[in-house]
Structure 1
Amino acid sequence: MENKPTYIKIKDFTTESGVFCAILNLSFEVFGPALNTAPIVLVNHALTGNSQVVGENGWWNDLIGVNKTIDTTKYTVLAFNVPGNGYDGTKIENYLDFNARDIAKLFIKGIKILKIKQLYAIIGGSVGGGIAWEIAALEPKLTNHLIPIASDWKSTDWLIANCFLQEQILNNSRKPIEDARIHAMLCYRTPESFKEKFQRTTNEELNIFNVESWLSHHGTKLQKRFQLSSYKMMNQMLKTIDITRNAESFQEIVSKIDADIHIIGINSDLFFTAEENKATYQELKKYKNNVTYQEIVSIHGHDAFLIEYEQLDNLLVAIFQA
């Protein structure tokens, strides 16, 4: 039986850009033991994800569940929906009014309303990891473990450039979701991944290359389940990750974070590159002892955190068997 999101009304919220929202709906789902009866793991979803992390349509079933790495007999799993992600019916058209820190603030408000004093871990991939960084920067004592996967504490120029192109497609294309998804898939995978998968083969029935057929399929599939406003909103979140925006220096911010920080990069990631993750790790080591960097080795690029489950399990098992 599938969970359904529960709603919290957040009142009188002002975004970082100064826009006042009288009411915002924040929805969430809980898996495993009831809240505040077991250690709590907050899971932040990626761009096209949602709060359904486990279950029939769970996007992280290989990692989370009964007797899985994050065992839902031992841990309570909490997952919020980014407002406007389309999963819970909340629609946000004015996506430019929000940034990743706003979402982190909303999640923190939700956590306080749910009377959660301490999290065992915050984990997220891609933009979800960026929002995890933002939460830890705002509430440095909230979690014991911070686990950003295929992510970073800031959006790089390269990432911002790709988000800019995504926004151009979303605002100007005749088939915005399909076309934006096709471009995004080129960022999420690698030339080597495509070579292994397609080998320059053709779809004789359609008289096109199989790589073209595959990309078109992904575009059509997303168009059927994702709203245009949701794509714009999530792309804006990806573009605006920066724990130092209008704040203290990186050193001052991270020095206050109590959590053990476990950075997990992907050697072939074209989006949040391993080089950036390693640079973050080297910088963090100057101010913190409880930080590690580990790497998924894969030809599949950014999407490897959703593909290479055995590797991810091996990298996380010690944290969740403690």
Structure 2
Amino acid sequence: MLDLKKIVIKNWVLENKTTLKNVNLFYETFGQELGTAPVVLVNHALTGNSTVVGENGWWNDLIGENKTIDTKFYTVLAINIPGNGFDGNEENQIVDYKNFTIRDIASVFWQVVFQLKIESLFAVIGGSLGGAIAWEMSVLEPNSIENVIPIATDWKATDWMIANVLVQDVILNNSSSPIQDARVHAMLLYRTPESLKNKFEGKVNPKNQRFEIENWLCYHGEKLEQRFQLASYKLMNHLLKTNDITRGRERLENVISNVKSNIHIVSIDTDRFFVAKEDKETYEVLRKVKSNVYHHKIQSIHGHDAFLIEYKQLNEILENVFNIIYIK
């Protein structure tokens, strides 16, 4: 059962110096009661939300009782990106989406954490957009996270990312079926030709005589339209191009040298959205100035979406992070 909790942010100062007052944010907690156990913050991806476990949980294979992130031992906190529409509250929608950056989201997440009287986080973990927010959170509070785990993401927006955000934005602002059409395009960024060939093999559906790949893409577009709002999609997509932990700061190695956290960068070898080569280059730079940075790679034919598919590999990567302080 959905158990959304609300917290009010009295003053949220954006990067562009705009101040928003009395903003409602919504979050969920799982596992141990706040204040009684180490806290793991899970940041959701573009079309995700705070329901990470349970009947509709999108990360049940990683989080839960006796799972890698064991809710018998940890408090799991998940905050909805403001404006993602998950609370169903129209007045909480953020309409002027281009005013916001990933740094703004990371900043307001820290406000939530501190208002909940959480002094430090055992881990911040997230895939894709959620992982980018994790990078920024680590820089904003360099002494407050023990483990930062950005998965299938990057600390900056590449030209490739910026280009694809533009394509999505054009679709979202010009299509007669914006959510469906943008989702159809996005799914091709999240998977690989090999993944689609393995899944469909050029088969035709005998009921409607369409290729199965066409049915699958249309299904995902229609499904997202039923549960997601246009303003939310525009905002989440836009945030991806605002990602840069060095903006207005120093070079990457100087910025990260101040971060005390263990940093576990998790790449997917076939990711064509956030490409693994970028993570490798980041790791090579950071390991010269930081001893506790690690690079892990998931092997998969599925591309970007492998962080939601290859659970065995992801669990194997993360079990040493989450099991080191106790024995099951």
* TM-score w.r.t. length of structure 2: 0.96
Q: Deviations over 1:26-69 (max 9, x none)?
A: 11111011112101100000001111000110000010000000
Structure-2 residue corresponding to 1:298? 300
Q: Displacement, 1:248?
A: 2.2
Distance in 2 (CA, whole Å) between partners of 1:151 and 1:158 is 13
Percent of residue pairs identical:
55
Aligned with 2:151 (options 149, 152, 164): 149
Structure-2 residue corresponding to 1:48? 47
Distance in 2 (CA, whole Å) between partners of 1:25 and 1:99 is 18
Distance in 2 (CA, whole Å) between partners of 1:69 and 1:255 is 29
Distance in 1 (CA, whole Å) between partners of 2:117 and 2:202 is 55
Structure-2 residue corresponding to 1:25? 24
- Secondary structure of the structure 2 residue equivalent to 1:56: coil
Query: Number of aligned pairs?
Result: 321
Structure-1 residue corresponding to 2:72? 73
Structure-2 residue corresponding to 1:105? 107
Tell me which stretches of 4 or more aligned residues in structure 1 moved more than 4 Å.
none
Distance in 2 (CA, whole Å) between partners of 1:226 and 1:13 is 25
- Secondary structure of the structure 2 residue equivalent to 1:203: coil
Unpaired runs of 5+ residues, structure 1, are: none
Comparing 199-208 with 73-82, greater Cα deviation is found at: 199-208
Aligned with 2:259 (options 232, 238, 257): 257
Structure-1 residue corresponding to 2:210? 208
- Secondary structure of the structure 1 residue equivalent to 2:179: helix
* TM-score w.r.t. length of structure 1: 0.98
In the alignment, is residue 217 of structure 1 matched against residue 219 of structure 2?
A: yes
1:71-150 equivalence runs, <5 A? 71-88=70-87, 89=89, 90-150=92-152
Structure-2 residue corresponding to 1:174? 176
Distance in 2 (CA, whole Å) between partners of 1:8 and 1:319 is 30
Structure-1 residue corresponding to 2:56? 57
Distance in 2 (CA, whole Å) between partners of 1:188 and 1:58 is 20
Distance in 1 (CA, whole Å) between partners of 2:201 and 2:214 is 12
Amino acid in structure 2 at the alignment position of 1:62: D
Q: Deviations over 1:247-270 (max 9, x none)?
A: 222122100100110010000000
Distance in 2 (CA, whole Å) between partners of 1:26 and 1:280 is 33
Amino acid in structure 1 at the alignment position of 2:284: Q
Distance in 2 (CA, whole Å) between partners of 1:258 and 1:3 is 35
Unpaired runs of 5+ residues, structure 2, are: none
Conserved? CA contact 1:26–1:106, under 8 Å: no
Distance in 2 (CA, whole Å) between partners of 1:114 and 1:30 is 11
Conserved? CA contact 1:251–1:287, under 8 Å: yes
Amino acid in structure 2 at the alignment position of 1:17: N
Q: Displacement, 1:207?
A: 2.1
Distance in 2 (CA, whole Å) between partners of 1:252 and 1:174 is 46
Q: Displacement, 1:203?
A: 1.6
Structure-2 residue corresponding to 1:198? 200
Q: Deviations over 1:209-238 (max 9, x none)?
A: 111111001000000000000101111122
Distance in 2 (CA, whole Å) between partners of 1:219 and 1:203 is 18
Distance in 2 (CA, whole Å) between partners of 1:166 and 1:259 is 34
Structure-2 residue corresponding to 1:13? 12
Distance in 1 (CA, whole Å) between partners of 2:209 and 2:32 is 52
Amino acid in structure 2 at the alignment position of 1:307: I
Structure-1 residue corresponding to 2:34? 35
Structure-1 residue corresponding to 2:288? 286
Distance in 2 (CA, whole Å) between partners of 1:262 and 1:3 is 31
